[in-house]
Every structure is written in structure tokens, then in C-alpha cells.
Amino acid sequence: GMARERDEAESAKETDPGKKSMSAGITIAVVGGLLATGFSFANAVGRPALHAASLAQGNAEWVTALAVMFPIFLSGGVIMAGYFGWQLSSKKMWPKFKTPAFGKNFVLILIMAFFHYAASAVFAYAAFRLGAVGNTVGYAIFNTSCVVTAIVSGIIVGEWKNATGQARKHLYTGLASMVVGILIISYGNSMAVA
């Protein structure tokens, strides 16, 4: 990302001096990524009790994934709604929602939210099916899949079209490192289980 930003600046595609730097974005992503592991932790801690309660009600095992994700998403949603409400109010951005594209954007947001929740529920079920290694290996696979999807989407829409070969090399090296990391975690966990 930083290499791509440098390439774009050199080719005069980006000349806005007030634009926030890629390093600030990376810092936010790293801190957010560290905090996001709470998602897997909540699944690990909450799943056993919710799984037992769900089965006691006569539900199928896959329903547990939905039962676990509901309180996680609800609690996270309350915090995020408060934060974004505060940001929109402090920056007086509420009027920006009055746009002819609001309806279309709202529908697209709902579709995205549905797929995000569905992916998270699939992660919760997969973590359960993987057993003892589910919350480590499963979460690593889940996160890597999310990153790969985002990067491939960025490549498809042309986000990397002005990047040099060196910047792309960094991108592909990072992706390969994530995949190798998953393999190492998987192997290590399989040794611990055996």
C-alpha cells in the first residue's frame, strides 16, 4: 500500500497535500486488527454455553453459529453506532445523507451486512467443527480470506493499476506470507492435538 501510494504520487495521480498518509491508515488497520481478535475470543468464550443452550432447545448444531454471532454483533453494533453517530454529529455530516443515491446505497449496505454476518456465522460454525483448533486456525483462515477478497476486489476495480511491479511484489509477498502463516499455525495446532 505505501509503495503503491508512493508510485501514484510520483506519477502525479495524487497531489493533494492534505490527504492522510498510508502510514496512518496502516496504523489504524493494525490496531483495529489487534482489537478484532476479540471477535474470535468472544466466539471461544461464548460458544460453549450458547451451544449447550441452543441444543437444549432442540436446535440443529448449525444454529449455534447464529446464536453465538448474535450477541457479538449486537454488542459491537451498539459501540459502532455510537461512535459513528458521534463522528457524524461532531463533523456535522448528517445532511450529507440527503442524496438521490441514498436508497441504492442503503440497499447495497444491507446486502453487504447480510454477507458479512453470513460469513461470520460460517466462521463460528467452522470453528466449532474444527474443534480445539477452531478459534486459532479458523480465525486465521477467516481473516486471510477476508484480506484476499478485499485485495482481489481492489485489483479487479483497478486500485493497483498505477502501481509498479515492486509495489505489486510487496502485495503478493504479503499475501503469500499470510497463507504460509496459516499453514504454520495449522501444522502447529495439529501437532498439539496429536
Please name the residue ranges forming H helices in the chain. Answer: 2-10, 22-56, 61-90, 102-130, 139-156, 165-193
Report whether 124 contacts 63 (CB < 8 A): no
Q: How far is CA 33 from CA 26, 27, 36, 104, 187, in A?
A: 10, 10, 5, 30, 23
Q: How far is CA 1 from CA 19, 37, 38, 39, in A?
A: 15, 23, 26, 26
The rounded radius of gyration (Å) of the Cα atoms in the chain is: 20
CB pairs under 8 A, 24+ apart, for 28-34? 33/143
- pLDDT at position 194 over 70: no
- pLDDT at position 68 over 70: yes
- Is pTM, for the whole model, over 0.85? no
Task: For residue 89, count CB atoms less than 10 angstroms from its CB and return exposed for 0-12, middle for 13-18, buried for 19 or more.
Answer: exposed
Q: What is the distance between the alpha carbons of residues 154 and 161, in angstroms, rounded to a whole number?
A: 10
Nearest CA to 128 out of 38, 67, 180 is that of 67
Report the first-to-last Cα separation within the chain, whole angstroms: 40
Of 101-115, 123-137, 176-190, the least confident: 123-137
Specify the pLDDT at position 17: 46
- What is the grid cell recorded at 5? 501510494
Specify the pLDDT at position 2: 62
- Average pLDDT, stretch 125-149? 82
pLDDT of 26-54, one tens digit each? 888 889 888 888 888 888 888 889 889 98
